[in-house]
Structure 1
């Protein structure tokens, strides 16, 4: 290497270092994050999909958007003392009709405000069907957990970087439009970015339509997504949560989880384990000095329950958002292994969900316990 090349290399390294510093500096300081968290109530809610929708597309497309049903179900949430919901958006609906999509988001936010709920909005999702299609969605597959849930972006866009500019436009438009909206709690950039869906659409599944390099593309998407969201300058915190791996230290984390912890304003995570495992995960993440919110938990047969996890979380001031709310087209009363074996009747123990479609609690003692914990 000659002297000129050496100077250029040094200059490039300095420039990249400056970009890296600017990117990391945009993350909220722990003080700012904790000051924000002190102004929040103890956050309790569910991942929300109305019973009338099989996936994000059916929830948000104009012809199937169901504000009456949404209003009813948010009323159930309010009755439990819930004050947040985690809600998945979809880039395809925006691409089809951005103006109409945002009008429906406004309707949804107004309904949330009516019921004293501030949702966390999820921009992308790496789980389940990698081939989403607009229009009328198929009927649920009998007895199969999340038989119609779709990824966003789908494989066709995720695998083609020349199409990622539209994803950037989607993030900047949605986050930018609502960057000062106090009805929104936070932004979740990508759900489980490196999930390969091995047992459903991946290598062990029956359908096998997953991309072979899906995990790496998911890592790249979440890193890009954080940057796009930062460009929109939201006043709400941004996050994306680890869901597997060793979180005991930055050194032991993989690249994905390390990035999430070092770039999220508030730390979110998923855990479907029993109370002792949940408590261990909380301790691992609280060491980073930021607010902690569990954005997925509660799978009764796996030992993750409201009675087991909520008392720990309340004592540790950890926000809690369980998977599943009202049993409906999502079929999430059935377990994950319903992709491997057939269920023809209601399972003896529901996997997820709290209410039947008519609003009756699945387990009245369970909803009474949630009310006790929230002070409702």
Structure 2
């Protein structure tokens, strides 16, 4: 573990401020990150705890990497409680992002997590806090309860369907692996289409195969996710498939979740893993080589989003709250997709003290 401990400055292969894109690769068009504030564990908390200062600080970090896109979620459950506060916060988020030349991909619903009970929505204990489904399966599985979610979709579209600060509107994240959720997502997508404006519409998809299914829905942008390939070769094979499909489909295709080469995949084991730390530089050069529009998970350094990954002590993200980064090489590799690898700052490869409640390999 000595390679991921201590505090220092990475000397690397280039001095801070030096242009090192010697291959003359064109900048990747969509260079983004997923965003959830550091100490929030689901997107209800992001809006319930909304802090303009934190948003302005964090999107400033994104601008340091020359990112031009952010993918994040609005929240149906918070909207049910306080639509006025939600709109005010959304407006501030979009304005802050636009001031930093960053477009926003907002997703409306989430298919990852536990039931959105009040207890789960507000839980901020790093050992137990969880992402939450939005809406609940009780709502998803009963068409008679779709009136309110449709109202939420129309509310959002009435206000933002022509907003040029938006990169796209995503109906739901990863609905494809449950048929009941997919039926709900398709119905909500139809409501998007009925109320569409100039902003493109899309669906969060786990794979290229699932994404192609959404062409029939009318999706303007195809998505796919690949967080933890077990080797660079496997990841590159996927990007070659991406290139072939891109030549056949007259739609943009974006990789909207990626992280690193990893040994653990999505196994159910709760044993801490050796490669628990971020390593975006393991994949970023391939994304630049294949010119793939992409969003890495995540901008802020956090315990893993899902409980099974958190039990493995997986940490993901780049920026600490004070602006230090986990890895200067990661920061330079991500910024390099803009054609400029220059990035200087403090590198700190230490488990964040505020989450010491979680057992981790450095303890």
Same-fold call, TM cutoff 0.5: yes
SS in structure 2 at match of 1:185: strand
Structure (1 or 2) with the greater helix fraction: 1
- In 1, distance between residues paired with 2:187 and 2:244? 26
Q: Secondary structure at the match of 1:60?
A: helix
Secondary structure, aligned partner of 1:162: helix
Normalized per residue, which structure has more strand? 2
* Structure 1 residues 1-376: aligned runs within 5 Å: 42-61=29-48, 64-133=49-118, 137-142=122-127, 147-195=129-177, 215-244=178-207, 247=209, 257-262=211-216, 263-272=218-227, 273=229, 274=232, 275-286=235-246, 287-302=248-263, 306-328=280-302, 331-332=303-304, 336-339=308-311, 343=313, 350=315, 352-376=316-340
RMSD: 2.6
1:313-340 per-residue CA deviation (whole Å, 9 max, x = no partner) reads 3344421101112124xx128994444x
1:367 to 1:333, Cα distance in 2 relative to 1, 3 A: farther
Cα separation, partners in 2 of 1:364 and 1:312, compared to 1, 3 Å: closer
User: For 1:315 and 1:70, how far apart are their aligned partners in 2?
Assistant: 31
Sort the Cα spacing of 1:103 and 1:314 in 2 relative to 1 into closer, same or farther, 3 A: same
Stretches of structure 1 that go unaligned for 5 or more consecutive residues are: 1-39, 196-214, 248-255
Q: Does the CA-based 8 Å contact 2:120-2:132 persist in structure 1?
A: no
Q: Which runs of 5+ in 2 are unaligned?
A: 1-26, 266-277, 341-363
**Which whole-Å CA distance do the structure 1 matches of 2:47 and 2:226 have between them?**
27
- Cα deviations across residues 69-112 of structure 1 (Å, max 9, x unaligned)? 11111111000000100011111111222222111100111111
Q: Is this contact kept in 2: 1:92–1:134, CA < 8 A? A: no
Q: Check the 8 A contact 1:74/1:115 in 2, yes or no.
A: yes
Structure 1: how far apart are the matches of 2:249 and 2:121? Answer: 44
Change (3 A) 1:172 1:269: same
Hey, what's the Cα distance between the residues in 2 that align with 1:100 and 1:54? 20
CA deviation after TM superposition for structure 1 residue 41, in Å: 7.1
Is contact 1:81-1:375 (8 Å) kept?
A: no
User: In structure 2, the residue corresponding to 1:359 is in which secondary structure?
Assistant: coil
The alpha carbon displacement at 1:220 in A equals 0.3
Cα distance, 1:152 vs structure 2: 0.7
Over 3 Å counting, the alpha-carbon distance change for 1:359 and 1:300 in structure 2 is farther
User: What is the deviation of 1:369?
Assistant: 2.0
1:258-290 CA-to-partner distances (Å, cap 9, x unmatched) read 531332111111112243243144135313232
- CA distance, structure 1, for counterparts of residue 77 and residue 118 of structure 2: 8
Maintained 8 Å contact 2:131/2:306:
no
Three-state SS of the structure 2 residue aligned to 1:261 is: coil
Kindly name which structure, 1 or 2, has the bigger radius of gyration based on alpha carbons.
1
Pairs aligned (count)? 294
Report how far residue 172 of structure 1 moved.
1.1
Whole-Å separation in 1 of the counterparts to 2:239 and 2:137: 36
Structure 1 residue 224: deviation in Å? 0.7
The Cα shift of 1:160 comes to 2.3
**TM-score of the aligned structures, taking structure 1 as reference length:** 0.71
- Structure 1: how far apart are the matches of 2:241 and 2:111? 22
CA contact (8 A) 2:42 2:121 kept: no
Taking a change above 3 Å as real, the CA distance of residues 187 and 156 of structure 1, as seen in their structure-2 partners, is same
- Judge conservation of contact 2:47–2:89 (CA < 8 Å) in 1: yes
- For 2:166, what is the secondary structure of its paired residue? coil
